[in-house]
Amino acid sequence: MYGNTAHNIYTQNNIGIESPEKLVIMLYEGVLRFNAQAKKAIKDKDIEKRVYWTNRSTAVITELISVLDMSQGEVSEYLVGLYNYEIQLLAEAGNERDISKLDECSNVFKVLLEAWRETTDVD
C-alpha cells in the first residue's frame, strides 16, 4: 500500500530499513515518541519544545500521507482523512496546550501500529 518514496529518503539518510513495511512501523513509532515529548513539553510549559515536537509529529504524518498508494481505494482515502484529522489535532494540542488532544492522537497511532504489525510480517 505504501510506495518506495519514504524508503528511498530514509536510505539516503543512512537509516537501515529492511522494507517499506518496516518504515511504516518506524514512522508510527516516531509519532508516538514525538507526541510523548510534546506532552512533556506542555506539562513543563516549554513553548519551544512543544512547538518542536508537535512539528516533528506533523512532519511524520505528512510523510505518511505522501507515501500512500492511492490506487488501493477506500483504505487509502480513509487514511488520508484520518491522518489529516490527526494533524489538525496536533495543531490544536499545540495551540491550546491540550494534552487530551495529544493523547487522542497517540491512541490512534497505537491502534494503527498494532494493526499494521498484525497485517505484515514485520516486527
Tens digit of each residue's pLDDT (9 = 90 or more) over 39-94:
999 999 999 999 999 999 999 999 999 989 999 999 999 999 999 999 999 999 99
Closest CA to 100 of 43, 26, 22, 15: 43
Distance CA 110, CA 88 (A): 18
Secondary structure (3-state) at 68: strand
The full set of domain ranges for the chain reads 20-119
- 1-12 pLDDT per residue, tens: 444 555 455 455
CATH H superfamily, domain 20-119: Flagellar protein FliS (1.20.120.340)
Beta-carbon contacts of residue 94 (< 8 Å; ≥ 6 apart):
38, 50, 51, 54
